[in-house]
Structure 1
């Protein structure tokens, strides 16, 4: 559920720049260079030849670097999924960790995992940024080559000034779309991995189970009972069966108990009967009809697992899961039948009281009776109960046994039992042997270790993690922010190099139009080459430096949030587990976005603007004043974009929290919702949240577009 939550929140966020920035840039890169090249060839064939020979180098380098980035992006996504899954497990077990004084050790584990995620991300970005730097270097040197050659030709008098200026202005436009593709490529890397993960998930879902869409099961007046013929089950990838073949007949009324030692497959048999395992050996016939599977089959059964599962919502919502049309009087009637009416009436709100996550607002016995009340209310003719009295006190056990006895007068009850109180009231007992002891526990541990090794994240152990892992991510916020300012200066110098390249190339062309001695242009030629190389190199260093600093800041923030949650246990944590998961895994990434997409560009802009105003003022005070006015106008445009993005981000944070909460809750209650055919409400909620997220994104995009215009 943690991995799915990360896919639905962080994954979707990663897919957005791929679809909205990289794909449009790719389309533009296929069209614009060809058009510009045609105009350059028509204006000056020699310059067109130079551009035509250098343009193919950019996609060739892009493909080569892209192949190397693909595997790194998949590895980065596995690290993110492992981080999400591990933190969700920690949140589930936080009360136990606090009770055994192991919560602080988990702080070091989270720091270690986050640091691994940082290193995996940087490995991906190092190659992706190298792609962008190589493409920009090739493009910049190519433009510089065009400028120098046309300058020399202009000085020799073989080309006129008008042609030289047209070529010089158009040449960068031929390379710019391809450079933009390289710039956006790192956004596409994680987005591609996300879309592939979604596609793999969809394929896995469609592969599961047999086709039961053509199966129509009616409710015949005459009930013949159930027949099990050699029913067995072996999980995919396992050698030993989870359930050895079982054959038996279950009457249409009365109590049938399934008994046997732990691990012999009792719960697996019950789930197979319920239609939750749609691929199995043998056959299950109900009133002479097969197969066991599909919603039509499951509508015949009311299923209560060993650990009652509750969906988010009120007590009434949980009771109506199997009977949506039940009235309030029906709810009170079944609650009275399981001796729970007085307890529910005492709760604030009664039936409208919110049932805390996992039903924490009720005791274990009350949860068992509430789940049984839901079964009673459903009115379904076959009742499947998996150890309904496990871990309960004698009084609650007696209440449940009496209720089961009443149900068995009109319906068939099949239950898994260990305790004598339920076995004694059974009309029939099916005994499973332990001939094939399950090896799932050991195999599952091996699979977990293998998956952890593939994702680059080791399973947490009970021993303290090395302090070095914690220290590496515990960099103070002050030093991280100073490093971000340093990267902003480097980024500003990169942009300034681009400005200097343009200015020097322009000076070179104008100077050459006067046909000077060629040696007077050598310094300008060297300067064009120097600034052409400095721009992509400085940009590469700035991006790596800034991302590393921001990721260290992010890692520190995750650990701080976890440390802040520990003192709240065993009290109430803020929000549900999915909400907290979104805050730590996804929303904390907003720190990265804010630093890199909002603050860093503004700092770089401040550096370049200051240099531009200073340079133009030294040349001409009037020009300096005009440049200052332009700088302020651009700052106002930035303010418009920032205001729209900030408002949209506030909405997005709330939406991501709700989405994560819904995905975690839906995944953990998937079996229950599937059994009661109650998946639509959570899907409708996610659909509404998707609409809210879309509106927020549109608001931010509109503000950004207005600012750019």
Structure 2
């Protein structure tokens, strides 16, 4: 009975082979070109055997054998062309497969959404998506065509050899299965080593990226050496695993070479005896001897390609798991939202439970009126961010209804809905590229005048102009070189540029100083005019911008009203106001002392 690991490898192998259907024509062309090259080898062997036999046995001179020698030249040239065409076609087919797979993976990640991505180790995921996909090249470019040629080409040689010398043909037929047999036996150990190697590589990539992203924290806590030691141990474990894979690969190569050499030696001995006793002429003996090494070449090549297959299976296991993850189920037809002057968002008895079993929302009810600012406040874990995740389509409500102008969100085309929404998170993501590139994400077809007007409305034009190259200044990943306030201004500029009727804000002034916060508030007031704004506010100064404040606790709306109404009434909001005032007083006292 095969082990669970062996069963898993078989499943992944079938999955990889099934994906070859899209490049079947290209791989079939590779096999045909390989067969053509193999048939030319037989022609080449026949010409060379005839030439040597004529010279040795008949004493023929150059004038007699030059036609055969001349015929070899186009055979060599044509073989070279066929081999190069086969390599090029194999590479192109494998590249097409990898490109298609990467596109499918990106579409899958988009469907799974950012919440799923947050639960994954970024470095490990990048390793699988980049190096893992690259590791599939050998499977499609060499293993699959090689497997077909290993059957077809030796069979063709046997058809030619048996009529010439049936005993040599019998030796070839008996020894041929030994190479795949030993290849499979040695492959079991190699498969386990490959699996360990890929898991260690993913762990190493995840840890290394995590260390780079947290290098500031590591330096502040003087933990850089400890973290470097951990990365070094993982690196050493990966090196050791790689060496084990190479040892198995080299051992299998030696065994396969020995078996092939042994088979060729037996054929040579038999042919020698037959020639000695005059059972076959020299021409036939030379022809068989020349074809014997060619018979084993596809088998020996497949032995080395077998390790590429194992490497691909190890790399593809996680890729297959990602592609098989369930996506959010579409419920019925998705309709675009009717055109309207404003959009009212309604949560009606909405509940949401995360896959871990944690309840985020429990019968939440509130209305964000069109053209008004609605703020969500409450303690950490009250479910505020879940509200935005549901509206953005990153998660689905477990129960209840979310509607836009009376149309259920679940029945609304998500692309159409998102085209009407602008989102400003706590810390916007800045991509590696120019300032202009990052702003045009909101509206790629916008002209420069519109971009600059949006930046001016967000209060960002001034600092952008002060950069070395203005709007063409390159930015590092995650906005390296910009302050938190500048990054938030870029996010607001994106929202101004998109000019969407619905605006979702996740505490855009978090972690900013008072002066920058006040400036951002001014930009928010301009941005909110005439729009439906849903704002998560951790600071009550931000909540005070709202026309309506919804106070949340344990996934429910426990209070609703204006800042003045809620601050005057007994309840959670008033306690939050008092707690914030007390914290501010303590901070001022510390500054004075």
Q: What TM-score do you get using the length of structure 2 for normalisation?
A: 0.67
Partner residue, 1:255: 373
Partner residue, 2:329: 210
- Equivalent residues in 2 for 1:560-709 (5 A)? none
Q: CA deviation at 1:195?
A: 4.2
CA distance in 1, matches of 2:497, 2:142: 53
Q: CA deviation at 1:180?
A: 1.0
CA distance in 1, matches of 2:508, 2:330: 32
2:300 matches 1:179: yes
CA distance in 1, matches of 2:331, 2:443: 24
**Are the counterparts in 1 of residues 360 and 382 from structure 2 also a CA contact under 8 Å?**
yes
Partner residue, 1:83: 204
CA distance in 2, matches of 1:128, 1:403: 64
- Largest Rg, 1 or 2: 2
Q: CA deviation at 1:155?
A: 4.5
CA distance in 2, matches of 1:323, 1:159: 81
CA distance in 2, matches of 1:314, 1:87: 27
Say which of 281, 285, 295 aligns to 2:415. 295
What stretches of structure 1 of length at least 5 have no aligned partner? 437-709
CA shift digits 1:244-291 (9 cap, x unpaired): 442222211211111221123211221211222256443311112233
Partner residue, 1:415: 535
CA shift digits 1:62-92 (9 cap, x unpaired): 3343344334323322222222222211211
Say which of 137, 162, 167 aligns to 1:16. 137
Partner residue, 1:57: 178
CA distance in 2, matches of 1:407, 1:280: 33
- Equivalent residues in 2 for 1:458-469 (5 A)? none
Partner residue, 1:41: 162
Partner residue, 2:245: 124
Partner residue, 1:368: 488
Partner residue, 2:193: 72
CA distance in 2, matches of 1:16, 1:331: 43
Q: 1:35 to 1:14 in 2, by over 3 A?
A: same
CA shift digits 1:86-131 (9 cap, x unpaired): 2211211223323333223333222211111122223333334443
CA shift digits 1:176-207 (9 cap, x unpaired): 21011102222332233334444443343xx3
Partner residue, 1:334: 454
CA distance in 1, matches of 2:125, 2:290: 49
Partner residue, 2:234: 113
Partner residue, 1:276: 394
Q: CA deviation at 1:318?
A: 2.0
CA distance in 2, matches of 1:344, 1:362: 10
2:258 matches 1:140: no
**Are the counterparts in 1 of residues 361 and 554 from structure 2 also a CA contact under 8 Å?**
no
Say which of 500, 507, 515 aligns to 1:395. 515
CA shift digits 1:502-544 (9 cap, x unpaired): xxxxxxxxxxxxxxxxxxxxxxxxxxxxxxxxxxxxxxxxxxx
CA distance in 2, matches of 1:329, 1:212: 42
**Are the counterparts in 2 of residues 213 and 294 from structure 1 also a CA contact under 8 Å?**
no
**Are the counterparts in 2 of residues 215 and 296 from structure 1 also a CA contact under 8 Å?**
no
CA distance in 2, matches of 1:329, 1:179: 65
2:343 matches 1:232: no
- Equivalent residues in 2 for 1:474-493 (5 A)? none
Q: 1:60 to 1:243 in 2, by over 3 A?
A: farther
CA distance in 1, matches of 2:449, 2:374: 31
- Equivalent residues in 2 for 1:239-250 (5 A)? 239-250=357-368
**Are the counterparts in 2 of residues 303 and 375 from structure 1 also a CA contact under 8 Å?**
yes
CA distance in 2, matches of 1:234, 1:143: 68
Q: Classify the secondary structure of the residue corresponding to 2:374.
A: strand
2:437 matches 1:317: yes
| Range that drifts further, 146-155 or 31-40 | 146-155
Q: Classify the secondary structure of the residue corresponding to 1:432.
A: strand
